[in-house]
Structure 1
């Protein structure tokens, strides 16, 4: 066991308006299975890159281990998989590789196939096996689940549970719960480490948020009371001051010295109360420092003239001679929230393309309502570039609503000025989801919408879908999301 000590770490990108980290200090035990969470854009990947020595920073990072980052960059994907592994781990032992592959249920024959012929899931498993052949290293595993189906996620999670000595960045709650024993969270104003898995961290966070909210309400009442008291005392002081001069026709003499002293005393009391009020306000500003905004979002889906929107009856889909899926039967009715489940390659995206109107070779019967309006969120975000204003105009959506949704999904106003090409993977996905929520349609179709999206935003999107019950067909490998959202599941 050894420790990784981070002391007064401060870092900001050149030209950035503010620092990503400022005077951050904590310690990591190299035997931990450390989950790493935080909202998109908070600096999770940046922190991993700082550990890898890619950026200059102030403060210190003291470690007696070598860091290894996953996923590896594979330069020549046309090579056989065995050659790819040899380039990553030149001195590996073959029996150790076979042991790791067996744990991940990967057959030996993949080693003698070109790497680019493997599915995304197979590639992920092979590279993870190579990663755990690295000895005397602390492993930085950055979002390994993005190309894994639900079954593969459970397998990889079980695999990681047998290991130790890593940081795991993931937004999949079930995945984290199954294979971490500590959680590192990047909050709004600090970094915290807690013992336990994601669920225990989330329960602690909710208790802390509830306490801070209660303290905030108490403080707001105190501020209001102090403000009223200061106003009254200031008013009394002014009234007393006026009596120094009496009324014009009274003819009576007044003790101006006594009244002036009394007025000054009351004014001093008023100033003291104002000072206490300002102190209370200053104290209030320190509260709620880590409560994450999760404001409710609003969408208004169009009503369709018929209950049934689409129907597939004994549908089989082909690519050339290859059968992708066969004899698929289901209907999409208004109000349905349908999870389309199945292993990678089972035909989920092909069915989505068929429903969206793309040219697909199929047999069987497919019916779709006339003039049905669909909003589609694709897996791919690589094409996003330019600013958000031009994007809203090009897609004919309300710019104010679009940006309001992004604000609620934790976009800062600074992001509105940036090129979308510089956004993180999660931020790009949020752009597509916000666009979809702005569109006036009858049916939403989302293909793996949660890839890269942080946990709090996932919970927020869940609440939205449960509150407004839009008709939606989605492919998603986050088992908690599917369990909480789907009214109907179709398994291929």
Structure 2
């Protein structure tokens, strides 16, 4: 056991006036299974790169371990997988490698195939197994769940549960809950570490947020009361001061000494109230700094003139000799949220393309409502570039509504001026979801919409779908999201 100590860490990218980290202090035990969470763009990957020594920073990071990053960059993907493993760890012992792969249910034959012929899930498992073989190494695991189906996520999560000595960046709640024992969270104004899994951290956070909201409300009322009292006292003081040169109603001359003394007392009381008011305002300004903005989003879907929007009856899809799926039957009816589930390669994306109107070779019966309007969110975000204003105009959506949704999904106003090509993976996905929410359609079709999206935004989107019950067909491997959102599951 040893410690990774972070002291007075301050960092900003060249040319940026905003520090991503400022005078940050904390320490990590190298035996921990550490979950790493925070909104998109807060600096999770940046922090991992600082640990790897990729950027100059002020402050100190001290550690008695070496750091390794997942996903490991494979230079020559056409090489056999065994050669790729040798590049990662030349001193590996073969039986130990086979033990790790067996835990991950990877067969030995993948070692003798070109690395680029492996599925994304197989590549993820092989790289994790090779990296965990290294001794005195602390692993920095950056979003391993992307491209893993639900079963593979459970397998990898169980594998990580048997390990220790890692930081895991993931936005999948069930995945984190299963395999971490501490949470490192990047909040709005600080970084904190708590013992427990994600659900423990989230429960504590909600409790703290509620306490701060209650305190904030009490102080707000206090400030208002003090403002009114100070105003009244100030008015009394002014009136008494004015009366120094006046006369009593009876016509007798005023005692100016008495009046002056009374005015001074009033002024002192007014100053005391003012100080209390400033103290309350100062106390209030310290609250709510780490309360995440998770305002309710809105969606208004067009009603369709029929209850049934689409139907597949004994549909099979083949590409040449390759049969992708066979004999699938289901309907999409108004108000349903249909989850398409199944292993990677089971045909989920092919069904989505068929319903969206692409020319997909199929047999069986497929019916789709006439003039059915569909909004589609694809897995791919690589095409996003240019600024958000031009994007909204090109997509013919309401720019104000589009940006309001992005603000609620934690986009800062400075992001609105940037080129989308510089956005993080999660921020790009939010752009596509915000666009979809702005479109007036009968059916939303989302293909793995949550990849890279932070967990708080996931919960916001979940709440939105539960509140407005739009008709939705979606593919998503986040088990918690599927369990909460789907009204019908079609397993391929």
In the superposition, the TM-score normalised over structure 1's length comes to 0.98
Report if aligned partners of 2:449, 2:476 keep a CA contact under 8 Å in 1: yes
1:225-257 deviation digits (Å, cap 9, x = unpaired): 111110110111122122223269985422334
Match of 2:164 in 1: 164
| Unaligned runs of at least 5 residues, structure 2 | none
1:224 Cα shift? 1.3
Does 2:349 match 1:346?
A: no
Match of 2:328 in 1: 328
Does 2:277 match 1:266?
A: no
Match of 1:377 in 2: 377
1:275 Cα shift? 2.1
Match of 2:432 in 1: 432
Partner Cα separation in structure 2 for residue 59 and residue 268 of structure 1? 47
Partner Cα separation in structure 2 for residue 247 and residue 76 of structure 1? 99
What secondary structure does 1:146 align onto? coil
1:93 Cα shift? 1.5
Partner Cα separation in structure 2 for residue 293 and residue 439 of structure 1? 24
Does 2:12 match 1:40?
A: no
Q: Closer, same or farther in 2 for the Cα pair 1:370/1:247, shift >3 Å?
A: farther
Q: Closer, same or farther in 2 for the Cα pair 1:249/1:284, shift >3 Å?
A: closer
| Unaligned runs of at least 5 residues, structure 1 | none
What secondary structure does 2:370 align onto? coil
Question: Superposition pairs for residues 40-439 of structure 1, below 5 Å?
Answer: 40-246=40-246, 252-439=252-439
What secondary structure does 1:288 align onto? coil
1:324-373 deviation digits (Å, cap 9, x = unpaired): 00111000111000110000000000000000001100000101111111
Match of 2:484 in 1: 484
Report if aligned partners of 2:247, 2:254 keep a CA contact under 8 Å in 1: no
Partner Cα separation in structure 1 for residue 78 and residue 356 of structure 2? 33
What secondary structure does 1:132 align onto? helix
Report if aligned partners of 1:429, 1:453 keep a CA contact under 8 Å in 2: yes
Partner Cα separation in structure 1 for residue 458 and residue 149 of structure 2? 18
Partner Cα separation in structure 2 for residue 106 and residue 292 of structure 1? 40
1:268 Cα shift? 2.6
Partner Cα separation in structure 2 for residue 382 and residue 271 of structure 1? 60
Match of 2:473 in 1: 473
1:206 Cα shift? 1.1
Partner Cα separation in structure 2 for residue 38 and residue 319 of structure 1? 41
Partner Cα separation in structure 1 for residue 163 and residue 364 of structure 2? 48
Partner Cα separation in structure 1 for residue 324 and residue 350 of structure 2? 8
1:75 Cα shift? 1.5
What secondary structure does 2:292 align onto? coil
Report if aligned partners of 2:37, 2:183 keep a CA contact under 8 Å in 1: yes
What secondary structure does 1:289 align onto? coil
Report if aligned partners of 2:248, 2:254 keep a CA contact under 8 Å in 1: no
Partner Cα separation in structure 1 for residue 6 and residue 424 of structure 2? 24
Partner Cα separation in structure 1 for residue 199 and residue 277 of structure 2? 39
1:262 Cα shift? 1.9
Report if aligned partners of 1:246, 1:252 keep a CA contact under 8 Å in 2: no
Quick check: 267-276 or 411-420, which moved more? 267-276
In the superposition, the TM-score normalised over structure 2's length comes to 0.98
Partner Cα separation in structure 2 for residue 446 and residue 455 of structure 1? 17
Corresponding residue pairs, total = 492
Quick check: 239-248 or 105-114, which moved more? 239-248
1:267 Cα shift? 2.0
Match of 2:461 in 1: 461
